[in-house]
Amino acid sequence: MSSSSTLTSSSIMWKLADNPIILATESPARLRMFKDARIAHTAIAANLDEDALRAAASHENMSPEDTASMLAEAKAMKISALHPTALVIASDQLLVYDDVIYSKPDTRSAAKNSLQHLSGKTHELITAGIILLGGQRLWHVVKSPKITCRPLNDHDIDLYLDAMGDAAFMTPGVYMIEQLGVHIISQMDGCSYTIQGFPMLECLDYLRRFGMEPVQS
């Protein structure tokens, strides 16, 4: 077989025939998932005031599952209104421990406080994913993987935060399992993709049923 008739791995992308895919996110972890899976897409951040939306959800006594779903849908809806022929994919993740929703820390002191509370404990990562087309919901799922942090003393936490730097402010749990988070986690119960912030396997199952196929670029 000649080299010209052989498909190289780099020439294959997974695409939809009739609809572009837009990720309503700027999350490095979520973007990396789709890039590594070679799914043709563009990314547009929704840039919503998520703190205000969470506060409104709390005022309405919404459950963490409903809150995560509402936030994901709000992101997708904003982008879908601008791109009605695209499949807009969005997600949101909340860390919940002892019925408290943790937000991303904005200071080192807040990050340390979060890790002190999570030390030696098991928490949930309520993770919602959604797909809209023309403002209509096509797919929606909520998963709740569990993470157990190993016992951490103040010295452990300070050294960990030194190593994390500004990345400590990117997630509510102050960790990324694919990076330095492995040093503070003792157990995971759930899909690693979902733990990183998106129910990737469930989403791919839907996209294949919708018509996504591998094609030569």
3-state secondary structure the chain: CCHHHCCCHHHEEEECCCCCEEECCCCHHHHHHHHHCCECCEECCCCCCHHHHHHHHHHCCCCHHHHHHHHHHHHHHHHHHHCCCCEEEEEEEEEEECCEEECCCCCHHHHHHHHHHHCCCEEEEEEEEEEEECCEEEEEEEECCEEEECCCCHHHHHHHHHHHHHHHHCCCCCCCCCCHHHHCEEEEECCHHHHCCCCHHHHHHHHHHHCCEEEEC
Quick: pLDDT tens for 131-141.
Answer: 999 999 999 99
Quick: pLDDT tens for 179-194.
Answer: 999 999 999 999 999 9
CATH fold label, 10-216: Maf protein (3.90.950)
User: What are the boundaries of each domain within the chain?
Assistant: 10-216
Quick: pLDDT tens for 142-176.
Answer: 999 999 999 999 999 999 999 999 999 988 899 98
Number of Cβ within 10 Å of residue 146's Cβ equals 13
Number of Cβ within 10 Å of residue 191's Cβ equals 16
124 within 8 A of 149, measured Cβ to Cβ: no
pLDDT for residue 88: 98
Q: Is the pLDDT at 2 greater than 90, yes or no?
A: no
Residue 60 burial (C-beta neighbours within 10 Å; 0-12, 13-18, 19+): exposed
134 within 8 A of 80, measured Cβ to Cβ: yes
For the chain, what percent of residues have pLDDT higher than 90? 89
| φ and ψ of 181, to 5 deg | -60, -25
178 within 8 A of 29, measured Cβ to Cβ: yes
Q: Is the pLDDT at 9 greater than 80, yes or no?
A: no
- Average pLDDT along the chain: 93
Confidence of residue 11 (pLDDT cuts 50, 70, 90): confident
pLDDT for residue 4: 43
pLDDT for residue 1: 42
Active site residue 158: no
- CA–CA separation, 5 vs 199, rounded Å? 36
Q: Is the pLDDT at 6 greater than 50, yes or no?
A: no
Confidence of residue 5 (pLDDT cuts 50, 70, 90): very low
Q: Is the pLDDT at 69 greater than 80, yes or no?
A: yes
Q: Is the pLDDT at 217 greater than 90, yes or no?
A: no
Catalytic residue among 18, 36, 66, 92: 92
